[in-house]
Structure 1
């Protein structure tokens, strides 16, 4: 997996230019499979000042890598056991429940200091976040916080459900009115593209920073930073009727030339690609045949001239021809899952790390 850090930087700058407020760097999921540490350092070089991770341990890694400058927040929040290190490393919790708010309140009383925190108000997801019925009990506890922002998360911006998006903005605005004054953080990647009235003061575009298409039914306005290649390790000639792979799910309908690639589901190339995915050599497609196995995938190269594909040749898994979206749609998932799986399973190399935009 070759990751162009310059593309990640340019994507972030484009998103920054679309909002009048703060653009946060969302680097959860190991930077959506592109490498959290390397991507975060590249984003810091171009001025990113607010980072969100999902897990506390990732926030600690970011602080060690990025130094004392930027704000670093944890979307999952912080436990009481982690509060001492949270304060020592200047990590900001996102408060998702009354229980977490009580933890912060107790620590604030012990230390006689207000604790910086983002306050997550759930407005439709019914996942993390304070529910409306929590507000009355939460309000007096917020005096223990230095509230960085009130945030919510769109449930259906990806589906361009504008009615629900506007309803969520209205709910967040109304619930924040009686609370201590603080900015609002609303739009995710898709929300950024749905209009400035949905942005809030802090936008949190995660997937679009990493080149995942934020538009449901349009060409991707972002750059795909990752190129994923797999080498050919063997070429074979089959007779009519010869099977390929586990359970013999494919048989040659006529004499065929096949190439075996050094990639499989251990590398994030999902088993659901079996008999349905494709790879590319020199701009031309070769279909996946047979079952994708743990470390190997077989493709049909019968349509290629014999000299076009050879042992050591590189097959494009993702790149100029095969988009993130195509990879995901082939296996009936979203781009996040497909690219994170490939990013975890493939060795990563980084280019343009010193690029300034």
Structure 2
């Protein structure tokens, strides 16, 4: 452990920690836009700058190592003023279209501008190009006019999904996030996992599937498990007016021990079947060649009668049970127990898909 002083308070942190980690371990919060604990460090946004005694320049806390005996100030007047200037520079690039932005209410840049009282900017965009919002893919909307070049999406695509579908193109005011040869996502290695949407701190990357259906403060988030396969990824159903309007993910290891917030294209975007009018809401029994609605009691009595009849006439091995990866382990256990103990056959199988 090392000992350092932060804002006049002596604290300890594990050796090898960054200043940001030392602060957060001791309950001292710093603003960050480019930092993400699951991604490799970038140190590009500079929002986490701090003053260190004896150092002539501000340090980016997310990449600067914490040393024994350091004296750190995180909220001095100079630091606060510098952060305001940084926010103004980011706003000049960002464009500030909060009224119609899907990310409004869940935007870190918006939060920090409110926190530091930054409502306008003295700077221009320096002739930065304006980009059309055009991408034929059905899932991800890319509005790079709002991009602040934190590169979290690039690092998530490389470090979490390992698709490497996007990277930084050009330099200076011409810099933008792009696919190879500036093509569409559908023509890139993108697997449409949506991880870039989850890590984007602003509204540059949003879900087309959820667009216009509810902002973050309008929805209730229900923690559940994805039903598409047996991996068991944790996700959050975003519910508004008793309707699922989107899927997000909790990226903490405590709440998402299996996937840590990562999802595939089906888990992230394949939720609209929940609201489909074609979903069955009650049992159907075939009568005279046509499926007709029935009560649960009627359906269960019919199933019990037919299974008993088939078993008596043809023996238990004339029947088989096929279970699914889309149900829980407990339900699969009950299905095989029913097959062996009640039907009296070992003919039970599983689709075994991941």
Question: Could you state the TM-score of these two structures normalised by the residue count of structure 1?
Answer: 0.23
Structure ranking higher in strand proportion:
1
Higher normalized contact order (CA 8 Å, seq sep 6+, divided by chain length): 1
**Higher Rg of the two aligned structures:** 2
Structure ranking higher in helix proportion:
1
